[in-house]
């Protein structure tokens, strides 16, 4: 796991070691369960942490499958992006919608 450059100043966010959209899409397409658990588990944990910290029910209307589908769609548009950046943007969007 590495540290994300997109974290808030002074906050360290651990990210998966293979933090690329390309790795996420490859694992999804190849049925690589171990990698999907690593990457997808990180994403769900990160979003759950945002919900817990914010006190907002940002995940109340979504499923883990819909979150993975949204990550896959974003990653397919730009496979060179960091997957963690996609998930962080998703978290910010969910927070903005919950206000």
What pLDDT shows up at residue 9? 59
DSSP string, 21-87: HHHHHHHHHHT-HHHHHHHHHHHHHHHHHHHHHHT--TTTT--HHHHHHHHHHHHHH-TTS-HHHHH
Residues 16-28: pLDDT tens digits? 778 899 999 999 9
| Mean of pLDDT values over 37-53 | 92
């Amino acid at each position: 796991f590495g540290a994300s450059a997109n974290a808030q100043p002074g906050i360290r966010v651990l990210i998966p070691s293979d933090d690329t959209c390309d790795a996420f899409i490859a694992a999804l397409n190849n049925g690589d369960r171990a990698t999907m658990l690593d990457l997808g588990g990180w994403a769900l944990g990160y979003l759950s942490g945002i919900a817990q910290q914010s006190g907002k029910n940002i995940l109340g209307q979504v499923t883990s499958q819909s979150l993975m589908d949204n990550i896959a769609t974003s990653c397919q548009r730009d496979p060179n992006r960091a997957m963690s950046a996609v998930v962080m943007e998703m978290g910010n969007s969910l927070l903005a919608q919950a206000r």
